[in-house]
Amino acid sequence: MIVDNLNATISSRSTLAQADILSDATPFAGANVDATISSRSTLAQADILSDATPFAGANVDAAISSRSTLAQADILSDATPFAGGNVDATISSRSSHSAADVWTVVARTITGGTITTNGDKTGYALTAAADIAIADAILERDIDNVEASMALHSLGTAVLKAVSRIRDNAGTYEVYRTNGATLHMSQGVTVDATLDPIDELGVGV
């Protein structure tokens, strides 16, 4: 009965003594427990790191230059059948086409990059909608965006005369910028008491 084995001693389960188990003379996997690592190979450390030994580790100390018969000059030479031989090749040597040849192709599209100069303006034109948009932008732009830098004799000054503060300062006609405090331009005024004053200007016809 299986229960009969419960009280059996461990030592009664084997005829091998402890010394037998740990002995190399015993055909038992446990016999390798006390074996030294060095006893598992006939190769010395020098053999392992030697090129004379057929072992992958023999390449550990090998110089990189010893792995190839090509010199640096050979690797960078077009005469060498090696992809790296193109390192020093000029870009122009990779094609027989000149720039003129490329641009004689009728259908061509530029992708990426920036065009800094284009002397040929043939075919360039604004659409009617673009013309209207530009005109609208000019009419809608607030004069205070440019009044500080615009010339006195400019259309901007005419706009200030029409929409900004003006006054007669003791015979001097003054035009102010949109803040109403900064003088933009002044003009001398000539008066004649015998002439009729202007009361009103009507709508242009």
pLDDT in tens, 52-109: 665 555 555 566 666 667 676 766 666 665 555 555 567 777 777 777 887 787 776 7
What CA–CA distance (Å, rounded) separates 105 from 12?
97
pLDDT in the model for residue 109: 72
What is the mean predicted confidence (pLDDT) over 36-63?
63
Look up residue 170 and give its two tokens.
Answer: 């003791």
Look up residue 20 and give its two tokens.
Answer: 């037998």
What CA–CA distance (Å, rounded) separates 147 from 87?
59
pLDDT in tens, 137-152: 999 999 999 999 999 8
Burial class (CB in 10 A: 0-12, 13-18, 19+), 165: middle
Q: Which residue did the predictor score with more confidence, 150 or 31?
A: 150
**AA identity, residue 125:** A
Residues near 151 by beta carbon (within 8 Å), at least 6 away in sequence: 157
**Residue 201 pLDDT exceeds 90:** no
What CA–CA distance (Å, rounded) separates 28 from 18?
12
Q: 24 to each of 17, 31, 44, 170, how far by Cα in Å?
A: 13, 5, 22, 128
Question: How many CA atoms, within 13 angstroms, populate the side-chain half-sphere of residue 69?
Answer: 1
- The string of DSSP letters for 93-110 reads GG-S--HHHHHT-SS---
Q: 73 to each of 67, 85, 138, how far by Cα in Å?
A: 16, 9, 66
Q: Which residue did the predictor score with more confidence, 132 or 107?
A: 132
E-strand stretches of the chain: 166-169, 172-176, 183-188
pLDDT in the model for residue 63: 66
Instruction: Decide if 163 contacts 177 (C-beta within 8 A).
Output: no
**Residue 124 pLDDT exceeds 90:** no
pLDDT in the model for residue 86: 56
